[in-house]
């Protein structure tokens, strides 16, 4: 069955690269009427990863939804990656995911066994995350898409927002970049099987370990790096926090093959949308390197966590993460607000 269907051929764009650009999204949400409720602790006003609603003094509910077109041809792997990506929003808020609903569109060209395998992949990752899938919604569409609506829980005093970084914080990234570029190159047959195996395994890796480790430390802010890229999500963190983020370009982890593919023009459309959104808020104090810039604007699918941690806890957190995960790196720090939201050094 896997050899009979090429999922990526059924989609015009792939993974989180299919997201509407952050700038366009902000315009679409502008001036919409919003019901106010003192129990709504996090809404969409700061472009956070999920909404948070207070139930009582010890429990708040986290809600999020994420789905996208196929980024790989293997249906089961596609389901795993989509589920990891959706569940990640809860981890980024410091919460524990518990319930989920399938969100799926089925193409007439998609065999029933492929649909079953997509769902199977999603259920496998949900089970690994201790999440119960209780149902969902499926409709016909010209392109297949899959994801989850996820519900999680967190203590109201322990919510991690993307808009609460503090001056003096250290920034840690838990997965290397370059996924969008390399999956674009893979569709063109320009990536080796070894590279595909590596990036597919990364996308199918839950952010559960990173979350479970980081909540033991003094974390001030967190977001997962997905479709808006490191610089897009980094800008949202800096702008929402009223601070400036310094990123050391020599410390940012990325798959080395992405640099070569970027220099050959294998750039997903989402990277250009991310550049349009964030570039005017970025100051380049480092030597210009267009392929590296493309990696920093590259939309990630099921990317890592960008963690803003107190300087006192930074090295202990970094070392514990590195003991349990590959590709974790300290990439920068937070200062008071300067002329730009992000300064690359």
Residue 2 banded pLDDT, cuts 50, 70, 90: very low
Q: What are the Cα distances from residue 177, in Å, to 158, 253, 316?
A: 28, 6, 23
Distance CA 72, CA 107 (A): 16
Cβ neighbours, 10 Å, residue 142: 11
Distance CA 284, CA 262 (A): 19
**Residue of higher predicted confidence among 43 and 70:** 70
In the chain, where the domains are located = 7-158, 170-344
180 pLDDT more than 80: yes
Homologous superfamily assigned to 7-158: PurM-like, N-terminal domain (3.30.1330.10)
Q: Name the one residue in this structure whose structure tokens are 């593919």.
A: 261
Looking at the whole model, is its pTM more than 0.75? yes
Query: Tell me, what's the pLDDT at 296?
Result: 97
Is there a shared CATH topology between the 7-158 domain and the 170-344 domain? no
11 pLDDT more than 90: no
Q: What are the Cα distances from residue 119, in Å, to 46, 75, 89, 169, 205?
A: 32, 9, 20, 40, 17
13 as an active site residue: the answer is no
Q: What are the Cα distances from residue 139, in Å, to 10, 90, 102, 167, 316?
A: 16, 25, 11, 47, 47
23 pLDDT more than 70: no
Instruction: Sort residue 229 into left (φ over 0), alpha (ψ -120 to 50) or beta.
Output: left
Mean confidence (pLDDT) of the chain: 90
Task: Report, as an integer, the average pLDDT of 164-192.
Answer: 95
Residue 6 banded pLDDT, cuts 50, 70, 90: confident
Query: Tell me, what's the pLDDT at 316?
Result: 98
**Residue of higher predicted confidence among 16 and 63:** 63
Residue 264 banded pLDDT, cuts 50, 70, 90: very high
pLDDT tens column, 115-151: 999 999 999 999 999 999 999 999 998 889 999 999 9
Task: Report, as an integer, the average pLDDT of 1-27.
Answer: 58
Among candidate residues 13, 16, 84, 243, the one labeled active-site is 16
Query: Tell me, what's the pLDDT at 42?
Result: 76
Q: Which ranges of the chain would DSSP assign to H, the alpha helix?
A: 22-29, 75-92, 112-128, 179-187, 193-203, 208-214, 229-241, 256-263, 269-278, 290-296, 311-324
Nearest to 238 by CA among 166, 303, 292: 166
Query: Tell me, what's the pLDDT at 63?
Result: 95
Provide the percentage of residues in the chain whose pLDDT is more than 90.
79
Query: Tell me, what's the pLDDT at 37?
Result: 79
pLDDT tens column, 331-341: 999 999 999 99
22 pLDDT more than 60: no
Task: Report, as an integer, the average pLDDT of 274-293.
Answer: 89
Query: Tell me, what's the pLDDT at 172?
Result: 98
Architecture field, domain 170-344 = Alpha-Beta Complex (3.90)
């Amino acid at each position: 069955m896997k050899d009979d269907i090429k999922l990526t051929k059924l989609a015009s764009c792939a993974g989180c690269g299919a997201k509407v650009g952050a700038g366009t999204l902000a315009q679409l949400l502008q001036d919409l009427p919003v019901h106010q409720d003192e129990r709504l602790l996090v809404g969409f006003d700061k472009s956070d990863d999920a909404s948070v609603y207070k139930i009582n003094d010890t429990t708040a509910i986290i809600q999020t939804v994420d789905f996208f077109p196929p980024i790989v041809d293997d249906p089961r792997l596609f389901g795993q990656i989509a589920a990891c990506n959706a569940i990640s929003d809860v981890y980024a808020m410091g919460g524990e995911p518990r319930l989920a609903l399938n969100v799926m569109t089925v193409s007439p060209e998609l065999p029933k066994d492929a649909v079953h395998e997509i769902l199977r992949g999603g259920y496998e990752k949900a089970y690994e995350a201790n999440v119960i899938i209780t149902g969902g919604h499926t409709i016909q569409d010209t392109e297949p898409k899959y994801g989850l609506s996820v519900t999680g829980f967190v203590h109201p005093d322990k919510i991690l927002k993307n808009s609460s970084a503090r001056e003096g914080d250290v920034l840690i990234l838990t997965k290397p970049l370059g996924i969008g570029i390399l999956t674009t190159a893979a569709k063109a047959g320009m990536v080796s099987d070894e590279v595909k195996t590596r990036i597919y395994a990364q996308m199918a890796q839950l952010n559960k370990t990173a979350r479970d480790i980081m909540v033991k430390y003094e974390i001030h802010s967190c977001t997962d790096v997905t479709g808006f890229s490191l610089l897009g999500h980094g800008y949202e963190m800096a702008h929402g926090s009223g601070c400036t983020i310094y990123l050391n370009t020599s410390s940012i982890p990325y798959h080395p093959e992405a640099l070569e593919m970027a220099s050959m023009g294998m750039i997903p459309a989402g990277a250009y949308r991310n550049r349009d959104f964030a570039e005017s808020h970025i100051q380049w104090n480092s030597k210009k390197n267009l392929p590296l810039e493309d990696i920093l604007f590259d939309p990630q699918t099921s990317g890592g966590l960008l963690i803003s941690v107190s300087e006192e806890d930074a090295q202990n957190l970094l070392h514990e993460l590195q003991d349990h995960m590959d590709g974790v790196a300290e990439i920068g720090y937070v200062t008071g607000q300067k002329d730009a939201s992000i300064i690359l050094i």
